[in-house]
Structure 1
């Protein structure tokens, strides 16, 4: 036989447990009370209490009309009173037992009804969570419980659920923007390649110079697609992961990066300068820290070197090693700072595309540094350049 659905609920089970516990204690109390009362019955000795003289009472001859040749037994008045008292006590105990059992039954019913109502009130936040969760979908994450009540476990549960939904909403929104931006970024070079091919098809006999231009355009856009796909793969492969770290000398790392980017800096008329202590060491993944610093310096040369100089420096702050890159260019607008590490975000979209950037450089830096147990920050004022900082755990106490 299948039980009704309501009997499977937590509310019903809580009611049964509370009522059963109260009923057990109630029965135990009544049983103990009745046993104690019966064991503690007073011994009534009316002869001693009433001081009735110890007179020997004799049977008397009964009247003829009441008894023929018989006797009517006559007993002591004290015995009569004593028997009446014992009978009265027995009746009182029986009534006590009856009323006690009735009270226990009434208590069981009242506790069941009251427990069901109270458990319903106490479990209301859980019911609200269930209702909100059933209404949530990937396209509608705006619902919240917004529970108002005492700071108890249920309030914390409701607040935790609201926080989780807020994080999910933010994650879905970032994913939506990422898909849109990625689609747009991929569509741009593909459209350029397609347009170039269509132009070439219109000329059945292109000149060697035109062929070279077509091939150069296709090559450039293909390289851009390759770079974009590699950046996307790198970004997604380390999202939410933690990298193994080892001591890395930041000065030697900075020298390697500046040496790699020296030709680019020379073409742009930018001077690269280093300002790092010789023994500054951080716990990091060597390859990914190299990629992070390379992205920052490359970004500073291309977009922030209006002042003709880029400085790569480092310092020790407590238990952190700080690696920073400073440029003296136009800076970053204040309204753009909160989104500077977002995927595909560009302060100047047209200039970034002309430079061949994928729009993922700073996002990759932020994700890789986070995976190494650090964080990345930026400080900037329009017209005064920008400073990017990579903060990582220091490898020693020097």
Structure 2
């Protein structure tokens, strides 16, 4: 039953039950405290009165001539007094309206200690008794009063509480409902806004009050979640779009090659040539898929294994790997690493970024030309400058070189096995390492690539190579 209630109704019900419990405990405690304090006050008054009467008795020589006017003296009404002598039985010496129904027996009075005041309650009466000695004879003084006033006060208090508690509960419930409604209003607004968000409009965000409370923090985190979801959906959509766009051509070529080969019987050399052509396209497909998967990764995934790396060593490894390719293209690589420095990053990814740029520089260089790599520290930054003297890049193409699948020279890029994703990958790697990459180029003269990275510490100088 409770599970089917809304949170607002549950809070309202729980609040009502808790308040009813607290008010009940408070009422019982108040009633009991008033009863105890009033009775204690009554007993103190009786103690004063009985001691005063004892003093009057001790001062009188003739006990039969006693008069008690304590009722007027203390403004205490009603006050019942009985003074008796103890001699095997009780002999009443003086009595003022003392009720017969509450008289003590001699056996009970014998149990009393001398000069000790005893209190007890009988029916609606509060009784105070004192046993004392006068000239070797024992006497007992008993004073009683009706606690009807006390009972009436407690009864009136009970009626007042029974009348007030329901009113308090009603007002508290109404106030609680108002507070719950006001507290849940922003949450209901968030729920309404979330219902309007779907795959088609993930760019929509929740409206926030910017007041810094918990609900505002919840809205902020939901907006951050929506942003991450939007980025993920965009990456999935872009990956699907890029893959279908870029894989269509090589798959068509493979299908065409196979269909031509199956039209008639062919020699083993012709079948071998067909398989080689298909293998080349499969390699392109594999490289394209790998590149697309890397680009689809989030920045957190790519930067999760950063460690201290020595950038000069990474550059030298990259040069070593691409020297055979440069030799094939009849291009010479020259390096000038002035400062050796270290940084936080992923050495494999940084080498991929440098390899892509260096390979492009080699691919688009003129035969028998040079590709220069300079590395140095300036203004607390590591500079890597890769410069070639090749065909260059036009101004129109310079603004598009980081676009995926964009090729400045499609035929030459295709022949070199490129996918048009190399510079996009390099840019993402550099950005993930909190660096920048920029191009300077002039057609038919060459291109210069400038990479800037943050170094961890300056280590030492090394000679130019």
Counterpart-to-counterpart distance in 2, 1:333 and 1:394: 37
Tell me, yes or no, if the aligned pair for 1:332 and 1:380 is still in contact at 8 Å. Answer: no
* 1:141 has 2:202 as partner: yes
Cα pair distance change 1:378/1:237, threshold 3 Å:
closer
**Match for residue 57 of structure 2?**
none
Which structure has the larger Rg over C-alpha atoms? 2
Cα pair distance change 1:236/1:115, threshold 3 Å:
same
Residue 27 of structure 2: which of 27, 30, 34 is its match? 30
Cα pair distance change 1:304/1:134, threshold 3 Å:
farther
Counterpart-to-counterpart distance in 2, 1:288 and 1:243: 12
Tell me, yes or no, if the aligned pair for 2:310 and 2:342 is still in contact at 8 Å. Answer: yes
**Match for residue 284 of structure 2?**
224
Q: Considering only aligned residues, what root-mean-square deviation do their CA atoms show, in Å?
A: 4.9
Cα pair distance change 1:322/1:146, threshold 3 Å:
same
* Cα shift at 1:216: 7.2
Secondary structure at the aligned position of 1:313 is classed as strand
Counterpart-to-counterpart distance in 1, 2:189 and 2:146: 63
Counterpart-to-counterpart distance in 2, 1:28 and 1:304: 92
Residue 48 of structure 1: which of 29, 52, 73 is its match? 73
Counterpart-to-counterpart distance in 2, 1:323 and 1:47: 109
TM-score (norm 2): 0.59
Residue 438 of structure 2: which of 366, 379, 384 is its match? 379
Q: How does 1:312-351 map to 2 (within 5 A)?
A: 312-315=374-377, 322=382, 324-327=384-387, 329-330=392-393, 336=399, 340=402, 344-346=404-406, 348=408, 350=410
Secondary structure at the aligned position of 1:315 is classed as strand
* 1:165 has 2:162 as partner: no
- Aligned residue pair count: 360
Counterpart-to-counterpart distance in 2, 1:360 and 1:386: 19
* Cα shift at 1:251: 2.3
**Match for residue 70 of structure 1?**
none
Secondary structure at the aligned position of 2:436 is classed as strand
* 1:10 has 2:72 as partner: no
Residue 341 of structure 2: which of 262, 274, 280 is its match? 280
Structure 2 unaligned regions, length at least 5: 46-69, 78-95, 99-143, 461-465
**Match for residue 64 of structure 1?**
none
**Match for residue 172 of structure 2?**
111
Counterpart-to-counterpart distance in 2, 1:297 and 1:248: 20
* Cα shift at 1:127: 3.4
Tell me, yes or no, if the aligned pair for 2:375 and 2:385 is still in contact at 8 Å. Answer: yes
Secondary structure at the aligned position of 2:216 is classed as helix
Tell me, yes or no, if the aligned pair for 2:393 and 2:441 is still in contact at 8 Å. Answer: yes
Tell me, yes or no, if the aligned pair for 2:397 and 2:408 is still in contact at 8 Å. Answer: no
TM-score (norm 1): 0.68
Tell me, yes or no, if the aligned pair for 2:376 and 2:383 is still in contact at 8 Å. Answer: yes
**Match for residue 153 of structure 1?**
214
Secondary structure at the aligned position of 2:158 is classed as helix
Secondary structure at the aligned position of 1:378 is classed as strand
Q: How does 1:168-207 map to 2 (within 5 A)?
A: 168-195=229-256
Tell me, yes or no, if the aligned pair for 1:19 and 1:112 is still in contact at 8 Å. Answer: yes
Deviates more, 1:217-226 or 1:254-263: 217-226
Structure 1 unaligned regions, length at least 5: 53-73, 77-82
* Cα shift at 1:311: 2.7
* Cα shift at 1:185: 0.8
Q: How does 1:69-148 map to 2 (within 5 A)?
A: 87=148, 90-133=151-194, 136-148=197-209
In proportion to residue count, which structure has more strand?
A: 2
Residues 87-129 of structure 1: CA deviation (Å, up to 9, x unaligned): 5564343222222233222222332343234223312333344
**Match for residue 59 of structure 1?**
none
Cα pair distance change 1:220/1:332, threshold 3 Å:
farther
Tell me, yes or no, if the aligned pair for 2:406 and 2:420 is still in contact at 8 Å. Answer: yes
